[in-house]
Structure 1
Amino acid sequence: MNSLFSVYDIYDDLISRRVNSSDAEKFADLCPCPCNGVGWGVIWGMISFVFLCGAMYLGLVILS
């Protein structure tokens, strides 16, 4: 449930509504990459979603 909330929170805070004081915007200012805060939100969201899927897969394999 914690991973699921993490994916939702990343989507809510960084992708669906734009906040100029968010961590992603601050990171985008420091990073030389041309991504903005929404781009970093998508990247972080995909990483979090991959970990959520991996945890669900491992949970199903261990419990079966």
Structure 2
Amino acid sequence: MGKKDTITKNYLNDPCIFADAFNYLLYHGAQVVLPKNLHPLDTVEAAFPYGADGRLQPVQKFRDN
């Protein structure tokens, strides 16, 4: 993950741009995803998988917008 990834995430963080991109890609331009219906979510997720010794191993994961 580098500078390009950060720039893309910041660009798609705009609800109008995000809606336009996904409407174009998924719905051939039909206005299905509306910017007013979008809201930001926390992109950090915590997971607690079991390690080799059977104990919980906390892991923090980062998701895209």
- Normalised by the size of structure 2, how large is the TM-score? 0.28
The structure number with the bigger radius of gyration is 2
- Greater strand share, structure number: 2
- Greater helix share, structure number: 1
